[in-house]
Structure 1
């Protein structure tokens, strides 16, 4: 790694890959000219996005591996065997690299089977707030990974939010919670704003207040290390408006609906991954 900058390659150049690349550059871990991405020849938008970062963008996978220290596998799950198969079949390719896969549901075992024997693999689950460097990522180490690989993985993922190492057995539930979770929060923000509009607030003001309220509340839970139930109690005055609102939510099964959403999403992940 010249000048301590990682040479990072992306197999697949979609929105998440672009978000990760921008985060790595912003954190000073790499530069655009130290990056290379590959995408399908029809995906001109992704190619353009990486070129605008100063990165090389091509339509072949093998050169991405040859020119990189770390390779981010960011294609759809069904494409993983095809994309990585190019690397395994290529003669004389030095695949003694660290591969980080963000392909949903593709296990460490499947990834290692698709790559040359010397490859070191991490399975990673980021989420879309990585786009604003506020992602919640987890990772699972493969058989051949080293402690240095873990440090590099954490450094990369922490540049786009937070990261934690987890056992692979938790990945389906994590996908349902933090992977799908932003969608639930977006619905919550939309619903809060709709309620404000119903009661007379201008739409743009309602969205600003709803989004900032969710953001600030989440930050309180994270930064104060206080149980959310205690924080909820601190807002809830006897016979007050918050108590009335909370009673309505309980009556409509708000908690149960969210718990059920995580269960349903986890079960769907299990179906997709066959685990």
Structure 2
């Protein structure tokens, strides 16, 4: 197999699809300087979605197969149900010089490998929306022909998007349930915090800022202390205080079980996407 060039030198990145996730991931590569705009080619059927990349100085096209000719690392960023059609379209142009990285939720490495020529180096990644501001949580797994060199290359690239870890593929759909879909749970919880503050007399604008900073600070405490969330929650509770009374109401409402059920539902749905 051909070697993968170091980021920023002869590495040429392509992307099929130009939606939010493509802008988030590739935008991180551009902002970090890991890949110059002149070494990036993006395709999409709509010119509207390509405007961001044109503005950055990237090459853009409506031809998916052209991306293969211009790039050696190819991100697949279309909707999952479109991926099989795209792979059939580009299969004849895929060579041993290419590394294929799928962002599609639910599509297994086995499925991807069945749709591409034998020996192609394939990796599967799961991003989430905060990649758009380089604060994402990204995991990836390697296909049977991708080795440590490809893993190191991808991890280096994706570090521009936030946290990035290699995991067993069995964790990928769980990541979708906890993080890919999980940001929506966080937004819903933030909205509820704001609504509660408005109910008690605080203006929405300042309540939104306080709720966001509270979530940000709580998350950073978990990351920086390494403590289990249960330990940090306990630290906030004083006997007979405001927090334990509030937590009692959350427990009566079934918050913990409901969130666990949400992660389970999203994970199961992601697994269903690979059933053809």
* Pair 1:28-2:58 in alignment: no
Aligned to 2:273, what secondary structure does the other structure show?
A: helix
Give unmatched runs, 5+ long, in structure 2. Answer: none
Aligned to 1:164, what secondary structure does the other structure show?
A: strand
Assess if the C-alpha contact under 8 Å between 1:70 and 1:97 holds in 2: yes
Offset of 1:95 from its aligned partner?
A: 5.0
Assess if the C-alpha contact under 8 Å between 1:66 and 1:95 holds in 2: no
The aligned residue for residue 239 of structure 2 is 238
Offset of 1:9 from its aligned partner?
A: 0.2
Please, what TM-score do these two structures have when normalized by structure 2? 0.94
Offset of 1:20 from its aligned partner?
A: 1.1
The aligned residue for residue 176 of structure 1 is 177
Offset of 1:5 from its aligned partner?
A: 5.5
Match of 2:85 among 79, 82, 86: 82
Query: Which runs of structure 1 show a deviation greater than 3 angstroms over 4 or more consecutive aligned residues?
Result: none
Assess if the C-alpha contact under 8 Å between 1:96 and 1:118 holds in 2: no
Match of 2:17 among 4, 8, 12: 12
Offset of 1:117 from its aligned partner?
A: 2.4
* Pair 1:191-2:197 in alignment: no
In 2, the alpha carbon distance for the partners of 1:61 and 1:259 equals: 39
Give unmatched runs, 5+ long, in structure 1. Answer: none
* Pair 1:216-2:217 in alignment: yes
The aligned residue for residue 136 of structure 2 is 135
Offset of 1:140 from its aligned partner?
A: 1.0
In 2, the alpha carbon distance for the partners of 1:47 and 1:163 equals: 26
Assess if the C-alpha contact under 8 Å between 1:119 and 1:144 holds in 2: yes
Assess if the C-alpha contact under 8 Å between 2:18 and 2:77 holds in 1: yes
How many pairs align? Answer: 271
Deviation string for 1:178-216 (max 9, x for gaps)? 111000000000000000000000010010000110011
Q: Which has the higher contact order (CA 8 A, sep 6+)?
A: 2
Assess if the C-alpha contact under 8 Å between 1:5 and 1:29 holds in 2: no
Deviation string for 1:15-69 (max 9, x for gaps)? 11111111001222101111001111xx122111110111011011122112112
Deviation string for 1:133-170 (max 9, x for gaps)? 11111111011112110001111111101111122222
Assess if the C-alpha contact under 8 Å between 2:107 and 2:273 holds in 1: no
The aligned residue for residue 225 of structure 1 is 226
In 2, the alpha carbon distance for the partners of 1:5 and 1:94 equals: 17
Offset of 1:259 from its aligned partner?
A: 0.8
Offset of 1:272 from its aligned partner?
A: 2.3
More displaced stretch, 224-233 vs 141-150: 224-233
In 2, the alpha carbon distance for the partners of 1:267 and 1:149 equals: 29
User: What's the RMSD between the two structures over aligned residues?
Assistant: 1.6
In 1, the alpha carbon distance for the partners of 2:152 and 2:132 equals: 22
